[in-house]
Structure 1
Amino acid sequence: TEAFKDLPILKNHFTDRITVSYDASKGFVVAQQDMAKMVDSLAKELDESGDAEKLQKTTRMLKDEIRQNRLSGLKFIRNMHENYPEATVGIETKDAIRSVLNHERNTIKKLKSDGMLEADEASRLIIAVEERMKEVMESSLDLRLPEPEEVLREVNWLKGMPDTLIAKIVNASESRVYNSGDTIMTQGGEGDGMIVITRGSVKVSIGDIVVDIMGRGAVIGEMAVLAGVPRTANVVADSSVTALWLTTESMQSIMAESPELSGSLWKTAAMRFAENLIGAKSPYNAWDQMRLRRWLNEGEVSAPAEGESVNLYGKVGILVAGQASASASAEAITAPALLDLADATFSDNAKVFIRES
């Protein structure tokens, strides 16, 4: 299906379907938001009993349904962003241009009404604006796939990195395509590289539990590159996926030249482990995902010397690589693990993520 949609005879049909679906979804979400503002008055019209408790129950039921509808619409839009980024970006660009032109037309009308523009000049300018608007709306979408460099510049662990470094990563990468349902990585399998998703989304699961759904710009399998460990999760394509494959050897060579890249990738891996290990614990289980990730982003990865003792009292400590033990104990804890200790002693080549509580 990915190949068929690029055929000239089907391209216009495909883009029309995408545009209608995307616009309808955005309209649906906006409608739910507007409906939420009318719930109280709507509930009174639906329930004329005058029973305050019953009215409150009806209001709560309506709000819950509207909230679920809105979330469904937002999820659909997110999936379209992940599966058809080139189409949704084109649609949003058109919408932005249309908004600018609408503002321009309204400004001309206001200048005319204020007596600052002659009627014939205002009419000429409005016609010109509407012609440009028509051209924009009738122009076809450019279904251009993003270049690897464009995607990599969006990736958090590469932000601020020099263009020469990004170019090295692109040159060392291999483009791969996976169909929906394809297994990309298997938990416990040999780690011989990592991928960066450039299009589509994947499900990440540990055992039978799905722990994350990741899309464009996500890096997966980085621990194989960083520490040579087996795969820590199953990764399955949730849609058609395009990704950049980077071998362990090539990435280690690039990281050897850039300590900043190595540190950034370690922090990315550490935050993912931390999210999985503490996400179900209080008080973090009451936080939404974005709040937890922002909080974790304030943490840092350190590399203690062999035998070094680190004070973890009042802190969240995540062992990312190597081993650790309580200072008074000989029993070793192997990464990845939450270090629920007041202080810990570390093995050689250990990495620990620490966040002040």
Structure 2
Amino acid sequence: MSQLTVALDMMGGDHGPPVTVPAAAQALSLLPALHLVLFGPEAELSPWLQRFRLDSHPRVTVHFCSQQVGNEHKAAYALRHLTDSSMRKALDALASGQARACVSAGNTGALMAMAVKVLNTLPGVDRPALITRLPQAGGGYALLLDVGANVSCDAGQLVQFALMGEQAARHTLDIDRPRIALLNVGAEANKGNEVVREAALRLQDTAGLHYCGYVEGDDLFAGKTDVIVCDGFVGNVALKTSEGVARLLLGLGQRRGFLWKILTFWLKRRLSHLNPDQYNGASLIGLRASVVKSHGSAGSPAFLNAILQAVAEIEHDLPASIAHRFDTAPQDSHAR
């Protein structure tokens, strides 16, 4: 196995091979060391592989399967009955060592259930969390987690998310001492629900963690912190709202008129870093291998960015970094 091998669920998302195959071809052209293992039904996948000449590519291995996970499938059903799906087989490739990371744009609930079943969580981690990048006003990114894997969490799980986010920021954003904050409805110590307030007390006592308090929703892009922690319900709403506003601003050019076109040109130059496609790819961290979830509606450029995110996690060996953080911090009893 190449050290830089990524398994791709070619059928996930709203579009399947018309999006995933061109993205795979571009990733191979950009990264000469990259190897891809592709999974999907032969009838749907083969014509696109032939069209982009991936059917005989020396750095591509193709495995055909008989099933695919749809958005309508419940996680429990997918886990029990869709064992020959492209999603499941891509995750199996990680478990067997055939690949070191996996990318799928498929059903989030099914992906999480299958990933936990096939890969297991790291010692000390109760649940994996979805983590994604947010562009910041001063340049660079902050990390937001959880953005949808766990709709409700207790205080201990929020502390675990903080520790995982710390390692993700350190190794993928190259920040030596990441600033950690909790997303809340106010900055004062008495604000928020009981879970958030309890998590804040525990984070203050967590050894070696640079906890800097609460941030509110209007500070998500302000550059005041490097890791923003919340439960998956709050995080998903915050992320989807942010993406909707970004697309609204970047889509103003659909209006007619010369002045609108000038305004759109200026906005796209100033706000291009807000385009959600540029930071597509939410990583399911806390597992024993790297799993990246692409947006279901992602186009080829966005799916390519998800592949590049998976490559970055391989290069930084993010699961091992998270495992080391938990192993070397036994005094962080609240995170256990």
Shorter-chain TM range is under 0.3
More helix by percentage: 1
**Radius of gyration: which is bigger?**
1
TM-score between the two structures when normalised by the length of structure 2: 0.23
> RCO higher in 1 or 2 (8 Å CA, sep ≥ 6)?
2
TM-score between the two structures when normalised by the length of structure 1: 0.22
